[in-house]
Amino acid sequence: MKIAIVYTSISGNTEEAMRIINAHMKEYTSQCYVYHVEQFPFYQLESLDCLIVGTYTWGNGEIPYEMMDLYRAFENCSNKDLVTGVFGTGDQCYPHFCGAVDEFRDMLYVQSNLAATLKIELLPQQLDMNRMKRFIEVVMKRVNSKKGITV
């Protein structure tokens, strides 16, 4: 099973969410690799079983610039069976809370086998812990059902 988490973060909120999500992932597999988006080898999209995207939101509900190559790579990817999930942090003060998660969700729904999405307000808090655990549960259930494993 090959799984990757590809993320971006400037002030550390999304990175912290990624760390917690990755820790939950370790309960399912030792083969989950974490990449900052600028280090991710895009060709791996074709051979992964699952990819989780983590992003903050910029501008007016927009995807950060450094995530756009990943967004476009999905559109050109022929592995439409790839199980995906997208999580992100944002700030409710902005009119379009976690807009980048919505943008990725809409694209991944069409271009992949999207299992779950998760929006977190700024730095993950205690109340987010269960939500992050559940996010990984749902994603891994989809991965395992594809492989014929019942969880």
Residue numbers at the binding site for ligand FMN (CB under 6 A): 9-15, 56-61, 89-91, 94, 96-99, 122
Position closest to ligand FMN via CB: 90
Closer residue to ligand FMN (CB): 28 or 56:
56
CA distance 64 to 55: 8
Residue 124 beta carbon to ligand FMN: minimum distance, rounded to whole angstroms: 10
Beta carbon of residue 82, minimum distance to ligand FMN (angstroms, whole number): 24
Cα distance between the two ends of the chain: 15
User: Which CB sits closer to ligand FMN, 77 or 123?
Assistant: 123
Task: For residue 44, give the DSSP letter.
Answer: G
- β-pairing verdict for 113-121 and 50-56: unpaired
User: Which candidate, 76, 77, 57, places its Cα nearest to that of 67?
Assistant: 57
Nearest distance from C-beta of residue 9 to ligand FMN, angstroms = 3
User: Which is nearer to ligand FMN, 2 or 131 (by Cβ)?
Assistant: 131
Q: How far apart are CA 24 and CA 37, in angstroms?
A: 20
